[in-house]
Amino acid sequence: MLIAVAFGVLLGTTLNFYTEIPILVGNKSENKIKKLLQFIEQEYVDNIDTDSVLDDVITEIVANLDPHSVYFPKEIYAASKENLQGNFEGIGVQFFMHQDSLVVTHILSGGPSETAGILAGDRILIADKDTLYGKNMRSRDIVKILKGPTNTKVDLQIYRKGIENLIMVTLRRNKVPIQSAKVAYMINDSLGYLKLDRFAATSYHEVNSKLLQLKAEGAKNLVFDLRQNGGGFIHIANAIIDEFIPEGKLIVFTENNKSIKEEFYATEEGVFEEANIYVLIDEGSASASEIFAGAFQDNDQGTIIGRRSFGKGLVQREMKLGDGSAVRLTIARYYTPTGRSIQKPYSLNDVASYANDYKNRVLRGELLHKDSIKVYDSLKFTTPKGKVVYGGGGIIPDVFVAVDTTSYIENEYFSKINSFTFEYADDNRNELLEQGFEDYDLNTEQQKNILEVFLSETNLERNVSAEKKALLSHYLKALIARQIFDETSFSKINDRRDPMLLKVIELDSIQ
């Protein structure tokens, strides 16, 4: 209520719609805030930034509403919305800081760097007058230099191995696509795999394109991976779900503070309505991901595999406040087709419990044993075919798969693995590209040699068991594939040890 009277009233009915807030004129509460800020600005004993004070006030107000309403000051708002927009403005590279130098690891498709001929392995030494090497710069500071408004010019000085002189490149920044569905491939002759990182503005078109690609490659059934997908736009989730759920089936409904319900139904025939769908979820699958899993589960479609999802059943709308800042405000609750809310309990008097939910799940053993998941008979629901499902805290999967404790890598290995795989890829990039992924993937002698070099260079050979060596070899192979080829190549290798995918393959073989 305080936000409404102080900063305006939201107009419009579309969920997740960006809008400006009109200011109420003459409202007593608004005038009270204006007078207070004016009094502080004119009379306070010390100089003070009233904009900063106002930011703190708004932050405190919104934080006292619920765990998912949040205020974005103008300094961070732009960055917060890039992933959901599906693009950013910059030069279009991914990079790795190695020995205090910026090394390009991937060129993003459709970006200015691709057009300008920049290559993976290039060292960007200078951007305009900013030196990017030898200054112990943080990655986020370099990002601020390389990103910028569309059509702004930047002059780069680049070092490329094998070329004596520096390469001078002038390019203009532009919008660069951020893919949310980067990985799609065939697990076997009939089973496709697609991973979606978030439900962004561009995700429906990305997913639809990948589905058509997989279908053309022979996919009869599909794994839809939503692990660690924190959500996004509800209308995008609904559009994607519509490609799988038969016409007329309820997908989700929302209810606001006036008890007004809005229902979303599947429409015409979708791309994969006849397929067996396996939806993978875990404790990081939230919001729109849970709408997706809930729609399948409550309509007796497909199979939900994994661990209990996050438990976020609140819908936000993002509202611009007119000065570059914005509030993402909870405006409704959503419910799965059977009528269950999957929002886990929260209390503003006990914020720590909500924040520590994952830790509490670990302590209860929930990530290892399905029986450790708390369910409440009062929140029991039944699907049309008689399956019992529960509300009150996330989506409980149909098939539980515990965390893989056999794939644990100690912290001491992480920096060594990352550094080694980067250097190996950097030293052998041209040879590996010429070799190609398929040959690299099948070359067991090469992988054995890579492991031996890693163990020798890191002085680990005497301390590593045979089981750990097999695990290290697996990760080294996958991470080098990511450096040289792409994210799909990494997944094709890494997923072979994935317990959830192994369970899917087992289930699909007996369908």
pLDDT confidence tier of residue 99, bands split at 50, 70 and 90: confident
Is the model more confident about 160 or about 47?
Answer: 160
**In which element (H, E) is residue 426 found?**
helix 411-435
Residue 168 token pair: 């001078």
Burial class (CB in 10 A: 0-12, 13-18, 19+), 99: exposed
pLDDT confidence tier of residue 26, bands split at 50, 70 and 90: low
Average pLDDT of every residue of the chain: 89
What is 87-177's CATH superfamily? PDZ domain (2.30.42.10)
**What pTM, to 2 d.p., does this model score?**
0.90
The pLDDT, as a whole number, for residue 6 is: 29
Burial class (CB in 10 A: 0-12, 13-18, 19+), 424: buried
Does residue 16 register a pLDDT over 90? no
- Distance separating alpha carbons of residues 259 and 126, to the nearest angstrom: 58
pLDDT confidence tier of residue 18, bands split at 50, 70 and 90: very low
Contact between residue 199 and residue 237 where contact means Cβ atoms under 8 Å apart: yes
Report the 10 Å Cβ neighbour count for 175. 16
Structural domain boundaries in the chain? 2-74, 87-177, 183-316+331-403, 406-506
Four-CA torsion 497, 369, 297, 212, nearest 10 degrees: -10
The pLDDT, as a whole number, for residue 27 is: 65
Residue 300: which of 398, 189, 233 has the closest Cα? 398
**What region, left, alpha or beta, does residue 454 occupy, with left being phi > 0 and alpha being psi -120 to 50 degrees?**
alpha
The pLDDT, as a whole number, for residue 75 is: 79
Does residue 4 register a pLDDT over 70? no
Contact between residue 70 and residue 80 where contact means Cβ atoms under 8 Å apart: no
The pLDDT, as a whole number, for residue 246 is: 94
The pLDDT, as a whole number, for residue 466 is: 87
Instruction: Specify the DSSP class assigned to residue 232.
Output: B
Compute CA 507 distance to the chain's CA centroid, rounded to the nearest angstrom: 27
Burial class (CB in 10 A: 0-12, 13-18, 19+), 440: buried
Task: Summarize pLDDT for 440-459 with one digit per residue, the tens.
Answer: 999 999 999 999 999 998 88
Contact between residue 268 and residue 247 where contact means Cβ atoms under 8 Å apart: yes
Residue type, 357: D
Cβ neighbours of residue 28 under 8 Å, at least 6 residues apart?
none
| % residues pLDDT > 70 (the chain) | 94
Residue type, 121: G
Q: Which residue has the tokens 């087992």?
A: 506
Q: Which residues pair with 178 in a beta bridge?
A: none
Which SS3 state, helix, strand or coil, does residue 252 take?
strand
**In which element (H, E) is residue 333 found?**
strand 326-335
Helix/strand/coil (H, E, C) string of 27-94?
Answer: CHHHHHHHHHHHHHHHHCCCCCCHHHHHHHHHHHHHHCCCCCCEEECHHHHHHHHHHHHCEEEECCEE
Does residue 25 register a pLDDT over 80? no
Instruction: Specify the DSSP class assigned to residue 246.
Output: P
Contact between residue 7 and residue 21 where contact means Cβ atoms under 8 Å apart: yes
pLDDT confidence tier of residue 9, bands split at 50, 70 and 90: very low
Q: Poorest-confidence range of 78-87, 99-108, 396-405?
A: 78-87
CATH architecture of 183-316+331-403: Alpha-Beta Complex (3.90)
pLDDT confidence tier of residue 294, bands split at 50, 70 and 90: very high
pLDDT confidence tier of residue 138, bands split at 50, 70 and 90: confident
Task: Summarize pLDDT for 168-191 with one digit per residue, the tens.
Answer: 999 999 999 999 999 999 999 999
Does residue 31 register a pLDDT over 90? no
**In which element (H, E) is residue 452 found?**
helix 444-457
Best-predicted range by mean pLDDT (81-85, 133-137, 248-252, 453-457): 248-252
Residue 17 token pair: 């719609």
Q: CA-based diameter of the chain, in Å?
A: 78
Contact between residue 157 and residue 132 where contact means Cβ atoms under 8 Å apart: no
What number is the average pLDDT over the span 128-139?
A: 90
**In which element (H, E) is residue 183 found?**
strand 183-186
What number is the average pLDDT over the span 386-390?
A: 96
The pLDDT, as a whole number, for residue 20 is: 46
How far lies 17's CA from each of 12, 20, 143, 198, 274, in Å?
8, 10, 28, 17, 33
Task: Summarize pLDDT for 204-227 with one digit per residue, the tens.
Answer: 999 999 999 999 999 999 999 999
Is the model more confident about 53 or about 209?
Answer: 209
Q: Which residue has the tokens 């002759």?
A: 189
Q: Which residue has the tokens 């893919």?
A: 179
What number is the average pLDDT over the span 91-120?
A: 92
Does residue 17 register a pLDDT over 80? no
Residue 4: which of 317, 348, 346, 343 has the closest Cα? 317
> φ and ψ at 331, to 5 degrees?
-120, -10
The pLDDT, as a whole number, for residue 204 is: 97
Total count of residues recorded for the chain = 511
- Distance separating alpha carbons of residues 155 and 136, to the nearest angstrom: 21
Best-predicted range by mean pLDDT (26-35, 221-230, 263-272, 402-411): 221-230
Residue type, 232: G
pLDDT confidence tier of residue 13, bands split at 50, 70 and 90: very low
Residue 123: which of 104, 141, 138, 142 has the closest Cα? 104
